[in-house]
Amino acid sequence: MSERPQVRPADGRLGVLLPGFGAVATTFVAGVESARRGTAQPIGSLTQLNTIRLGKRTEARSPLIRDFLPLAGLEDLVFGAWDPIPDDGYESAVNAGVLDRADLDPIRGFLEGIEPMPAVFDREYVRRLDGPNVKEGKNKRELAEQLRRDIQRFKKEQGCDRTVMIWCGSTEIFLRPGPAHQTLEAFEAAMEANDPAIAPSMIYAYAAIMEGVPYANGAPNLSADIPALEKAAVDGGVPIGGKDFKTGQTLMKTILAPGLKARMLGIEGWFSTNILGNRDGAVLDDPDSFKTKEESKLGVLEHLLQPKMYPELYGNLYHKVRINYYPPRGDNKEGWDNIDIVGWMGYPMQIKVDFLCRDSILAAPIVLDLALFLDLASRAGMSGIQEWLSFYFKSPQTAPGLYPEHDLFIQHKKLKNTLRWLGGEEPLTHLGLDYYGQE
């Protein structure tokens, strides 16, 4: 591995900018504020709760990650958001229905203090939504400039030393990378020409990268996953990551599938279906937004099981994913999986998983960890796609020509070894340091 970088200290305030101030974003902000007040635990967050084993087992060194590396503290975080729906943090959180009033009311004033800035929004890309809190400009380039000015103003008003941006906006319609996405010149010309190939999430990603603000995409739409913005991020020294927070059903898939594969058990079919009734579910009811999500969810098994290498075990796998909008459930999704597996001499067996899941409760700690780790990467001078953060994504962005790693356990190892490297410690491998024992 290359020489270890010097990591600049995490002095001052870190601004967390959130395009999209719905269920996930408000649950994240409310959880951080409650943790700061000591009324809730940041469960699910590696940066807050996880330790990291260093050196040999016998050395018994396992500090908390946040004591081992200079991460921004929760007390140093300030929040900003954009949303076409003008609801402040409290109204939006109540409407999302994730957290109880008993948790929201004590922090009501704090949440009301976060009002979303006017969004760069276009119904062409998210058809099931509309809202009045929207920017106007003669073309997409001008809208990008308005976002850049928002970032500058936010930093100044909030006294931030650094900012990061995490896309928590709705899933946009399915787009493939095209000519407008290949170079920065083509991308900027396309913005000026109001080319439909430029979606709002790309305009936020562009504005962030141009302002030197690390950017992660929690939704499956392309956003920064195009050559023009990847190169701009490398050239500008800006870390980026995506796509689509790995929560719920896909989290389960990437826990179970590596285990079945490790035992060389075959899989004939994997049928996944969901019912959910939140705003995200309403957006995904539009076939073009669902198509973006479907691609993101389907890729997982293909890469993980390597059917070309194991055609007899996974060559005929039938993988089906369904999302059904069902309002009575609100944010409390139910995800069913039926897995048809095959054992010794081809005998079939079935596994059924019924996950009564709270998606935003699983997504909120991911937003926090991505914000803190991207800020760390930025202070360490790391730029471009941060593959070591694949752990957090359903559809990890990779360098051109590489395939994404989906196995949660390999992703976890990569994340922790990157942290060891950043902290000047040896990575844990079966060839190097004593590998066995707790990570």
The contacts of residue 286 (CB under 8 Å, 6+ apart) are: 126, 127, 128, 173
End-to-end CA distance of the chain: 20
Per-residue x/- track, 349-368, ligand NAD (CB under 6 A)? ----------xx-xx-----
The angle that helices 227-236 and 200-210 make with each other, rounded to 10 degrees, is 20
Question: Could you give the CA distance from residue 257 to residue 405 in angstroms, rounded to a whole number?
Answer: 13
Catalogue the E-assigned strands of 83-219.
160-167, 215-217
226 binds ligand NAD (CB under 6 A): no
242 binds ligand NAD (CB under 6 A): no
Element (H, E) at 53: none
Q: Which two tokens stand for residue 344?
A: 């010794």
Nearest of 407, 400, 266 to residue 342 by alpha carbon: 266
Question: Could you give the CA distance from residue 174 to residue 157 in angstroms, rounded to a whole number?
Answer: 36
Contact 252, 274 (CB under 8 A): no
Considering only 163, 247, 249, 395, the residue that binds ligand NAD (CB under 6 A) is: 247
276 binds ligand NAD (CB under 6 A): no
Residue 166: helix, strand or coil by DSSP? strand
Question: Could you give the CA distance from residue 331 to residue 328 in angstroms, rounded to a whole number?
Answer: 9
Nearest of 439, 437, 433 to residue 56 by alpha carbon: 433
Of 68 and 167, the one with the shorter C-beta distance to ligand NAD is: 167
Residue 420 is which amino acid? R
154 binds ligand NAD (CB under 6 A): no
Binding segment for ligand NAD (CB under 6 A), chosen from 8-16, 71-79, 121-129, 371-379, is 121-129
404 binds ligand NAD (CB under 6 A): no
163 binds ligand NAD (CB under 6 A): no
Of 114 and 363, the one with the shorter C-beta distance to ligand NAD is: 363
200 binds ligand NAD (CB under 6 A): yes
129 binds ligand NAD (CB under 6 A): yes
Upper half-sphere CA count for residue 417 (Cβ side, 13 Å): 17
Least distance between ligand NAD and beta carbon 297 (Å): 10
Question: Could you give the CA distance from residue 369 to residue 353 in angstroms, rounded to a whole number?
Answer: 27
85 binds ligand NAD (CB under 6 A): yes
Count of residues that interact with ligand NAD, criterion CB under 6 A: 37
Binding segment for ligand NAD (CB under 6 A), chosen from 4-12, 80-88, 379-387, 407-415, is 80-88
Nearest of 142, 152, 153, 154 to residue 212 by alpha carbon: 152
Strands 13-19 and 77-82, how do they pair? Answer: parallel
46 binds ligand NAD (CB under 6 A): no
Least distance between ligand NAD and beta carbon 106 (Å): 22
Residue 208: helix, strand or coil by DSSP? helix
Question: Could you give the CA distance from residue 136 to residue 118 in angstroms, rounded to a whole number?
Answer: 9
Question: Could you give the CA distance from residue 17 to residue 191 in angstroms, rounded to a whole number?
Answer: 22
84 binds ligand NAD (CB under 6 A): yes
Residue 421 is which amino acid? W
Considering only 46, 54, 126, 385, the residue that binds ligand NAD (CB under 6 A) is: 126
Considering only 19, 31, 42, 241, the residue that binds ligand NAD (CB under 6 A) is: 19
Considering only 135, 253, 279, 414, the residue that binds ligand NAD (CB under 6 A) is: 279
Of 27 and 383, the one with the shorter C-beta distance to ligand NAD is: 27
Per-residue x/- track, 132-151, ligand NAD (CB under 6 A)? --------------------
The contacts of residue 212 (CB under 8 Å, 6+ apart) are: 236, 237, 238
Least distance between ligand NAD and beta carbon 124 (Å): 11
Q: What residues between 91 and 120 interact with ligand NAD by CB under 6 A?
A: 96, 119-120
Least distance between ligand NAD and beta carbon 20 (Å): 3
294 binds ligand NAD (CB under 6 A): no
278 binds ligand NAD (CB under 6 A): yes
Least distance between ligand NAD and beta carbon 433 (Å): 35
- Residues at the site binding ligand NAD, with contacts judged by CB under 6 A: 19-25, 82-85, 96, 119-121, 126, 129, 131, 168-171, 200, 218-219, 244-245, 247-248, 278-280, 283, 359-360, 362-363
